[in-house]
Structure 1
Amino acid sequence: MSNVETEPAEVRCAASAPAGPGGGPRVEVLSARDVPLGGPRAMTVRRTLPQRARTLIGAWCFADHYGPDDVADSGGMHVPPHPHTGLQTVSWLFSGEIEHRDSLGSHAYVRPGELNLMTGGRGISHSEVSTPRTTVLHGAQLWVALPEKDRDAARDFRHHVPEAVRVGGAEARVFLGTLAGETSPVPTFTPLLGAELLLDPGAAAVLPVDPGFEHGVLVDQGTVRVGATPVRRAELGYTGPGHATLELANESDGPARLLLLGGAPFEEEIVMWWNFVGRSHEDIVRAREEWRRASDRFGAVEGYDGHRLPAPELPNATIRPRRNPPRG
């Protein structure tokens, strides 16, 4: 998905601070902000990353959560060809269907419970359009920052359908990394975890996790207690490294659903603006200009009937670091 804000913020992101002392994980609850994706009938997404309180969870640098939207009212998703650099996009749906085309030549469909991961690297472009048979659109769009040594990686596209496994009172689908004895075959450039969990009404699950990871619990449905802290729908509960288990409990009468995102703290500073991840303001300026000139860097999306998405104007502002606050 493109960030189609007309005046996207330019952000420098830095690594997370370690978790504070104590017997269990300290949970920081992050609220989402609503972002309309252009036009009077546009979709509105709930964005939890990046924000002032926290800019990265591992290498996860962007999280949009949307729906359930009645496509008859919202118009669905229609994002023209747009560019990406220095990142991977992770598409995950709960309902609906999205048609994906990219400049690698990929033509695929994003469906519930199926991972679509695209590597932008030095440059890629793609389009995303909800299909005519979609009546309710509901899902998440996530970005992963690439480390310096891989940020010019070749374009790539992967599709994976994870099996559902039981862990305590939850059903898990592990789409990246390892959880509950399941390992995704999709490679990542930094240690990562991505999974959907569906908790039974009133149920709990104790998850063995990598103590070197920090984690984010993005709640889609219900209220989930992370340790002793309730995290409600559209909120993201953050826990720092240093804990070998993560305790989740469904405080709802119905099923609760969440995305569990984790990763080793990302030690590099990155600059994000629009759909680009770089290391400096100059990186962003160069990428924008090459998109404007339709250079070969981003390739062309074949089969899309329409125009490319134009880049917004760059801000007249000095990039200032946005750091995660120290814990403790």
Structure 2
Amino acid sequence: MSNTETRPAEMRCGGETEADRPAEVEILTARDVPLGGPRAMRVRRTLPQRARSLIGAWCFADHYGPDDVTGTGGMNVPPHPHTGLQTVSWLFSGEIEHRDSLGSHAYVRPGELNLMTGGHGIAHSEVSTPDTTTLHGVQLWVALPDEHRGTEKDFQHHVPHPVALNGGEVRVFLGTLAGDTSPVRTFTPLLGAELTVSPGARLVLDVDPAFEHGVLVDTGDVLVEDTPVERAALAYTAPGRTRLTLTSRGTAPARLILLGGPPFGEEIIMWWNFIGRTHEDIVRARGEWMTERESGAGDRFGEVRGYDGAPLPAPELPNVPLRPRRRPAPRA
């Protein structure tokens, strides 16, 4: 998915210190962002933000729906570029048609992972299908470490099987949890899973103590440890835990997305759909995308075939050089 903000902020991410990390549970609230289009489908963004920009290598989290596409027009994101990251698409309902410049033509469906690697550069489009009435899911980005951020473009698809838990169920789409391991390749250790917690149940999960974790609440009345987490909020826990306790207090099942990974030791710069290490990286990527978009020639991003419409133009860069943002210490 593209970040379609017309004036995206430049953000320097990473570099958290131990003093920045809360001892218990930190709540990250979402902000509403228009995805674009004539009726502006909206998404709820919990990463990045000033308080916390990364959880492991997870650097971007959009949560959307349930969205009645008859009222919003659904998703129609024209071809757009990515560098230095992997995109992770996961749906709860609906269907999205994916096309990319690698030649992939695939569908994102509920319970099925689509992971696209846009290291040196890739372009893709995303359109909800005509049969979709309700669109509901998450779009996530993973920052690539410096040694792999120039890797070649790639696309992977995986359908994880559900694993029964005492009080719920899990689908592990990246990493390992509850004895199940995803075969999908990542460039840093990661955890990504959908969890369903039965009404009144208390799940105690064994987790890697080297990981920090984020729990995004899709539905339900949920406690992470003993902290209430509202719908669409993301609860953060620092490394050091060997167990993570999730409680559903409602009369209906709770649905959660669990993200994790060891703290990402590199500082990154995110702007629009690019991740780099310097302001010059971003300027170069933007310039090459605009050149390819206007001329139809170039080999960094490539052409997305089969989409009916023009690729997205990149927003204008700010007139000032990148300045590191001082972020306040997160509050538990």
Shorter-chain TM-score category? over 0.9
- Equivalents in 2 of 1:143, 1:69: separation in Å? 21
Corresponding position of 1:260: 258
- Equivalents in 1 of 2:291, 2:18: separation in Å? 43
Deviation of 1:40 after TM superposition, in Å, equals 4.2
Corresponding position of 1:300: 303
1:88-237 aligned at under 5 Å gives the runs 88-237=86-235
Corresponding residue to 1:43 among 41, 44, 58: 41
Deviation per CA, 1:189-248, whole angstroms, max 9, x where unpaired? 001000000111111100000000000000000121011101110000000000100000
- Equivalents in 1 of 2:185, 2:16: separation in Å? 23
Conserved 8 A contact 1:18-1:240: no
* Residues 1:82 and 1:202: Cα distance change in structure 2 (over 3 Å): same
Gaps of 5+ in 2: 293-297
Count of matched residue positions in the alignment of Structure 1 and Structure 2: 326
Task: State percent identity of aligned pairs.
Answer: 72
Deviation of 1:170 after TM superposition, in Å, equals 1.5
Structure 2 residue 285 is the aligned partner of structure 1 residue 287: yes
Structure 2 residue 17 is the aligned partner of structure 1 residue 14: no
Gaps of 5+ in 1: none
Q: Once superposed, what is the RMSD of the aligned Cα atoms?
A: 1.6
Structure 2 residue 283 is the aligned partner of structure 1 residue 312: no
1:59-78 aligned at under 5 Å gives the runs 59-78=57-76
Q: Structure 2 counterpart of 1:184, which letter?
A: S
* Residues 1:323 and 1:140: Cα distance change in structure 2 (over 3 Å): farther
- What is the TM-score with the length of structure 2 in the denominator? 0.95
Deviation per CA, 1:57-94, whole angstroms, max 9, x where unpaired? 00000000000000000100000000000000000000
Runs of 4 or more consecutive aligned structure 1 residues displaced over 2 Å after TM superposition: 15-22, 320-328
Q: Structure 2 counterpart of 1:8, which letter?
A: P
1:37 is paired with a residue whose SS is strand
Conserved 8 A contact 2:66-2:136: yes
- Equivalents in 2 of 1:322, 1:50: separation in Å? 13
- Equivalents in 2 of 1:44, 1:117: separation in Å? 22
Deviation of 1:296 after TM superposition, in Å, equals 1.6
Conserved 8 A contact 1:15-1:324: no
- Equivalents in 1 of 2:144, 2:174: separation in Å? 15
Conserved 8 A contact 1:33-1:47: yes
